[in-house]
Amino acid sequence: MDFYTRRRESLAAVKEAESKGLVADSMEYRIELMNQVHRGERTLADAQAELKRVKRNAKKNGQITRNQAYTGR
């Protein structure tokens, strides 16, 4: 299997997992964090710390991270 095919399948797996609500740090969540930074409600460092916390607690909450969805772990 070539790189292009593997990448498309991996991106499709992430999109499917996000649509099912399995991904803790979904793109929608990340966009909302950045919107809060742009509105001045959070600092960038605070948003980064929050994202790190969400990723760390994903397994405890029965979810996975985007990276896990992408790599298939």
Tell me the mean pLDDT in the region 5-19. 95
Q: Which whole-number Å values give the CA distances from 25 to 1, 4, 11, 15, in the listed order? A: 28, 25, 15, 12
- High-pLDDT (> 90) share of the chain, %: 96
The pTM (predicted TM-score) of the whole model is 0.85
Tell me the mean pLDDT in the region 12-33. 96
Mean pLDDT of the chain: 95
Tell me the mean pLDDT in the region 47-67. 96
Cα–Cα distance for residue pair 23/71, rounded to 1 Å:
13
Which helix (H) or strand (E) segment is 50 a member of?
helix 44-56
Cα–Cα distance for residue pair 23/43, rounded to 1 Å:
24
Residues in Cβ contact with 21 at an 8 Å cutoff, skipping those fewer than 6 apart: none
pLDDT band at 1 (very low <50, low <70, confident <90, very high): confident
